[in-house]
């Protein structure tokens, strides 16, 4: 059954969408079956996957409000090799419409239940706020992957996010946990970045991924061509970093499975 991970951070511009697209493509490269869900009304993960958000007949919005089924909304990213539940600005209306619906926090989890067996990983690109959409992602997820820059203000926002994840685990999704913290736009030449990185290691230990994502022009350029960096320039530092992250994730899942079986 698929592991479902929400890629979330309440701060914008930290690399959530870049991580979703490139991690999805990298997991496909390791022969995993992947579904990427764009849950951000900006639709950047959709466009970055090579799917035109302006030409959608159905999107994840229609799925959430019960106007279509999964098969109707599903797209395929040819460059990434993964399935995609796309989004566009229609999703903005979900914040209001979902408020009047039954089980409003569980709409996404219930929609995914019949197809979890079809995938190894489901990644959810969350908007940069604790909205009804993000709440749906966290209720549907097994874990949260938090991309973050190693900056002072990022640490302040991180504590709020961790508190919110704990609350949601207590009230709505007992299995929810922090899967990992990912350092993005990483430049080891800056002393502040190293100081913040050391603090993350001290407070989060093994939850902090060993892999770091460097600042890389290819990662920034690839979405404008509707493809992950692995397709755009597979030798770039950004593409290689996300391949390393995919490998680290797979090894971590394998280790966790062995530990669970032993217990």
Q: Domain locations in the chain?
A: 3-262
pLDDT tens string 7-59: 999 888 899 999 999 999 999 999 999 999 999 999 999 999 999 999 999 99
- For residue 89, how many C-alpha atoms fall within 13 Å in the half-sphere facing its CB? 1
Closest CA to 148 of 131, 160, 134: 160
Q: What is the mean pLDDT of the segment spanning 196-208?
A: 89
For residue 238, the tally of other CB atoms under 10 A from its CB is 24
pLDDT for 255: 87
Closest CA to 67 of 33, 41, 101: 101
**Of 65 and 153, the one with more pLDDT:** 65
Contact 137, 127 (CB under 8 A): no
Fold of 3-262: Rossmann fold (3.40.50)
Is the pLDDT reported for residue 158 higher than 80?
yes
pLDDT tens string 219-235: 999 999 999 999 999 99
Report in angstroms the alpha-carbon separations of 46 from 16, 111, 187.
13, 19, 28
Is the pLDDT reported for residue 190 higher than 80?
no
d(CA 201, CA 209): 9
Residues near 46 by beta carbon (within 8 Å), at least 6 away in sequence: 38, 53, 56, 75, 84, 86, 87, 88
pTM comes to 0.95
In the predicted model, what is the mean pLDDT of the chain? 93
Is the pLDDT reported for residue 236 higher than 90?
yes
Which residues, in sequence order, are bridge partners of residue 125?
A: 7, 38
Is the pLDDT reported for residue 191 higher than 80?
no
Q: What is the mean pLDDT of the segment spanning 200-207?
A: 90
Contact 150, 115 (CB under 8 A): no
């Amino acid at each position: 059954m698929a592991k479902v991970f929400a890629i979330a951070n309440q701060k914008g511009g930290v690399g959530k969408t870049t991580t979703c697209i490139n991690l999805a493509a990298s997991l496909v490269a390791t022969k995993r079956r992947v579904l990427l869900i764009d849950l951000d009304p900006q639709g950047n993960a959709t466009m970055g996957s090579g799917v035109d958000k302006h030409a959608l007949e159905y999107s994840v919005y229609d799925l959430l409000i019960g106007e279509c089924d999964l098969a109707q909304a599903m797209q395929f990213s040819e460059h990434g090799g993964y399935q995609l539940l796309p989004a566009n600005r229609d999703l903005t209306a979900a914040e209001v419409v979902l408020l009047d619906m039954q089980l409003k926090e569980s709409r996404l989890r219930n929609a995914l239940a019949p197809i979890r067996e079809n995938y190894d990983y489901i990644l959810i690109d969350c908007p940069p706020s604790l909205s009804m959409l993000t709440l749906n992602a966290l209720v549907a997820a097994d874990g949260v992957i938090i991309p973050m820059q190693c900056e002072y203000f990022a640490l302040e926002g991180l504590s709020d996010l961790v508190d919110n994840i704990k609350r949601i685990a207590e009230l709505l999704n007992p299995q929810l946990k922090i899967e990992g913290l990912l350092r993005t736009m990483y430049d080891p030449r800056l002393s502040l970045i190293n100081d913040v990185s050391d603090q993350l290691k001290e407070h989060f230990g093994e939850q902090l991924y060993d892999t770091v994502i460097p600042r890389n022009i290819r990662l920034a350029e690839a979405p404008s061509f509707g493809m992950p960096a692995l397709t755009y320039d597979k030798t770039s530092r950004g593409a290689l970093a996300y391949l390393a992250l995919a490998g680290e994730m797979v090894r971590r899942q394998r280790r966790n499975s062995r530990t669970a079986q032993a217990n």
